Structure 1
């Protein structure tokens, strides 16, 4: 049995103050993907990754992004878009390592290389490639932007265009990477914060959010195009086909969390054989009664030898 989790920690220092360390120590996970680490190596808290080995790409933007994959044994290989990563063990010492890409980067992703948005590892003891992704949040196209309904400044659709460029390039990259894993005899599992709620089941207030970034028709269509019984499967939805949610993100404002008015935007997307082995999927809403982030970890048990 493999227990695999993904968690957007929204700043690892803040998450540790809210109980991330206890969750890492007690959850019994074999592999954990993290997003929004939001700290350069020198600013990480003590024992930031508990007793795990870690592969980390912090990116170069201070206080933003950053992805990691935590494993019980050192990974057999590490790959990032920028060609370098940090590796560390439980002693906390992080060392830079070369991490060349397996396949050339797809057109359109060059501008994202240094942002710390994607990292993948090959597990040492299981034929499995695991990736952690933090997909850009994006924004609204210019024709939907209204000052009275936006918290962010109007930008003429620049954030929207940037996300759509990422989606276009990442679709090609995802196909290449999945096929490369297959050619090596490995299953592939993409986890992370995709910043898209795919269907009305994945968003509590979907009717009034149909013109909200993260639930735009073109974003949802893109998501659906990445899934099929022959390529990638949404593991949590396959285990909970009729359930609304389980949601993984809630606003800090008001009673969204207490009333479970959330979004499901944190995913396990697995190749079909691995997806069929999934036996249980849960969202760890709280740790000892406290939220460690505005996201909650999504944990899946795979009956995988």
Structure 2
């Protein structure tokens, strides 16, 4: 089972940059997309509906917020949208597809870079989302959470990490949140299960020099339940083409 996650920073722009042309060549079973910045009714054009995939969307209530999507090769057994708290549901930040053996979700934690208020909203979302992850541990099935946390987990996941310790995305409380997910709760960072190399980033600032020099951060993850740890067979960040400031994360599972 091949799963791709990608933060589009606007699905229209990413499509113009060739994302869907690339996607259909990847032989993916499930593709999770975040930060659509568009409503479902605005995505009727065939270029947003590649042949061979069933699309499912969860819109933000207001323009300018995230919006998430799942493109699936097979029709899911069920689709769930939202998590029951305002920062998720009104901003369109979670959608889940249930399949025979696993549930795959597309999620997006808000960025806290813009202001102190934005950071406060981010941390509230993190608290509420942690509650959902705790509930998930009690369920008798496997899960893959695909999306953007806007957090670099460890120094190896961020260039110039020492100078960024007071910046949103690498704050102590954010890294502790990630550590709780992976260390205390037992979830798996699927990419790091396979790829231990340094400078494996998935996001670069909005200028070409940063991408060329590989000065960025790993902000995009596939987080799995513990039983899938040994099922991760291959993981890579696709950098050959630029569809947004984020790069697609591709992971193969033996499912």
TM-score between the two structures when normalised by the length of structure 1? 0.79
Alignment of 1:162-181 (within 5 A): 162-180=121-139
Cα offset, 1:166, TM superposition: 1.0
Greater per-residue helix proportion: 2
Task: Name the CA distance, whole Å, in 1 between partners of 2:108 and 2:192.
Answer: 20
* Greater Rg by CA: 1
Aligned pair partner of 1:113 in 73, 78, 89: 89
Describe the superposition over 1:198-248 as per-residue Cα deviations: whole angstroms up to 9, x where unpaired: 10011011111111100000100011101138631001112123x114110
Describe the SS at the equivalent of 2:170: coil
Alignment check: 8 A CA contact 2:35 2:67 kept: yes
User: Do structure 1's residue 286 and structure 2's residue 250 form an aligned pair?
Assistant: no
Task: Name the CA distance, whole Å, in 2 between partners of 1:254 and 1:55.
Answer: 32
Aligned pair partner of 1:295 in 232, 246, 250: 246
Task: Name the CA distance, whole Å, in 1 between partners of 2:7 and 2:49.
Answer: 14
Alignment of 1:1-305 (within 5 A): 2-44=1-43, 45-51=45-51, 52-81=53-82, 105=84, 109-123=85-99, 126-139=100-113, 152=114, 155=115, 157-180=116-139, 182=140, 186-228=141-183, 231-241=186-196, 243-287=197-241, 291-304=242-255
Cα offset, 1:37, TM superposition: 1.1
Check 1:128–1:3 CA distance in 2 against 1; reply closer, same or farther (3 A cut). same
Equivalent in the alignment of 1:88: none
Alignment check: 8 A CA contact 1:239 1:281 kept: yes
- Structural RMSD (CA): 1.6
Describe the superposition over 1:103-124 as per-residue Cα deviations: whole angstroms up to 9, x where unpaired: xx4xxx334321100111102x
Alignment check: 8 A CA contact 1:40 1:63 kept: no
Task: Name the CA distance, whole Å, in 2 between partners of 1:237 and 1:191.
Answer: 14
Post-superposition, which runs of at least 4 consecutive aligned residues in structure 1 deviate over 6 A?
none
Describe the superposition over 1:238-280 as per-residue Cα deviations: whole angstroms up to 9, x where unpaired: 2123x11411001122510001111101001111221211111
Alignment check: 8 A CA contact 2:104 2:146 kept: yes
Cα offset, 1:179, TM superposition: 2.5
Task: Name the CA distance, whole Å, in 1 between partners of 2:144 and 2:124.
Answer: 23
TM-score between the two structures when normalised by the length of structure 2? 0.94
Describe the SS at the equivalent of 1:258: helix
